[in-house]
Structure 1
């Protein structure tokens, strides 16, 4: 018998979404996901909309899915959501062959990638009021005088 699957560990103020076997490489997916990591979801959505990367469209649908999961499944406030974690994992690599000259063939690798995105609801943190630093006025301390030096040509 196999071991029972454990439920995914997600905090009460988090929601996640994952996208499996998307066409693209892990490096290219990490470039797109690092663009939105740590940003508010509105800003991240805007960045992905105007990104020229092909995987940005897949990451945008993934972000919209994570936002919908947060709102519908976990009851989180969409205005306070921040992209907490975003990462890409390697998936299967499809291998194809292309005919070449002299009866040879060359291998073609078509990589796939898994993308996972976790959004987190940020709590309002009251910042303590920092005491203002007291500035010393310029007239409080006179500027240091430059010492007079005698040159060899002068005889006093």
Structure 2
């Protein structure tokens, strides 16, 4: 079972947010929350909010155990860009791009340890 959570139109550039998202991919939820709590970036705060939303959805809507969840995907997509102008020398104008991003987090249950079939040793008979 997978649980998805999104936060859209965040006023943060995707390039800055991807650094934080890469750190938590593939980790158990508890470890990811610890990393995000002690990362001093705006992206960590916003990704933490989205992750907590996904955890709450998994627990309340799908009755999943939080201890068995891990982060399958943490994707940061580019949102719309606000275009602004700043006055420059000699009457010209320079463009400013204010970027936004969309945060997508997918949680999944940890795959149970699959039992491997026992190997049966078959001896080869050599006929002379």
Specify the TM-score bucket, using the shorter chain as the normaliser: 0.7 to 0.9
Which residue of structure 2 lines up, in the alignment, with residue 134 of structure 1?
none
Deviation of 1:122 (Å):
1.3
Secondary structure, aligned partner of 1:76: coil
Which structure is higher in helix share? 2
Relative contact order (C-alpha < 8 Å, sep 6+): which is higher? 2
| Consecutive aligned runs of 4 or more in structure 1 exceeding 2 Å deviation | none
Match of 1:112 in 2: 100
Tell me the residue number matched to 2:113.
Answer: 125
Q: Which whole-Å CA distance do the structure 2 matches of 1:116 and 1:124 have between them?
A: 25
1:48 aligns to what?
36
- Across the two proteins, how many residue pairs are aligned to each other? 118
| Structure 1 gap segments, 5+ residues each | 1-12, 131-156
Is 1:76 the counterpart of 2:67? The answer is no
Match for 1:59 among 30, 47, 52? 47
Shift of 1:124: 3.0
Give the stretch that moved more between structures: 98-107 or 77-86: 98-107
CA RMSD between the two structures: 1.7
Q: Pick the structure with greater CA Rg.
A: 1
